[in-house]
Amino acid sequence: MPEIRVFESIMKRNDAIAADNKKMIKKTLALNLMSSPGAGKTSLLEMTLKSIGKKYRIGVIEGDVATSNDAERIMKYAPKSAVYQIKTENYGGGCHLDAKMVSYGLAKIKAANRNYDIIIFENVGNLICPADFSLGEDKKVVMLSVTEGDDKPVKYPGMFEAADLIILNKTDLLKHLNFSMKKAMSNIRRVNKKAIVLDLSVQANTGMSNWYDILKQWMEEKKS
């Protein structure tokens, strides 16, 4: 079955480059931030940079099929040299970031000679492909907006199974939705019994302190 052999070869090459990325990052905490489109990844990064960007040095590599919209949003809160936009249309229009694309981004932002505390890879909006490709990250963070429905963890188990942290976002809208937090948690635990689960609202700025506490803990663990 040649298709399987080709896929295995692609993944081996990707994993080798991801290992090199990890060496390049050294003691910097690296996060792979994933979700479907519109779940709130970029808003989370904006609020994070606005709130703790002066305390910690944060680099961001943005992944999108096209446009630099997200990078332009992030640059309002971070040094321009610390943000790099990857357009996957330039690499065949892929629905995810891979380790080679990220290696280019790391080379660009590292050229600024900043010693980062955190580097965040905002992956392409997609609940399927990104989970399969290691980028050299320390932790995988999956964001689920409550507007998407409480069944998504069991509809897209691979993504949620891979997560170290699952963020339930837009909880300020719960009163307007037929979304059950109890059912969502049950569905999450069906596929992932170990991930941290955090509910918050970026727009309402509720629960964000718990996110910052997790980042601080992970940074300390990485440096030690």
- Whole-number Å distance between alpha carbons of 45 and 73: 9
Helix (H) or strand (E) holding 8: helix 2-25
Write down the pLDDT at residue 6: 64
What is the rounded CA–CA span in Å between residue 87 and residue 62? Answer: 8
Report which of 34, 26, 76, 36 is spatially closest to residue 53, judged by C-alpha positions: 76
What would the pLDDT profile of 2-27 be if each residue is shown by its tens digit? 556 666 788 999 999 999 999 999 89
List the beta strands (DSSP E) in 136-190: 139-145, 165-169
pLDDT of residue 1: 46
The pTM is what? 0.95
Which of the residues in the chain have pLDDT under 50? 1
CATH number of the domain where residue 210 is located:
3.40.50.300
Domain count along the chain: 1
| Structural domain boundaries enclosing 17 | 2-223
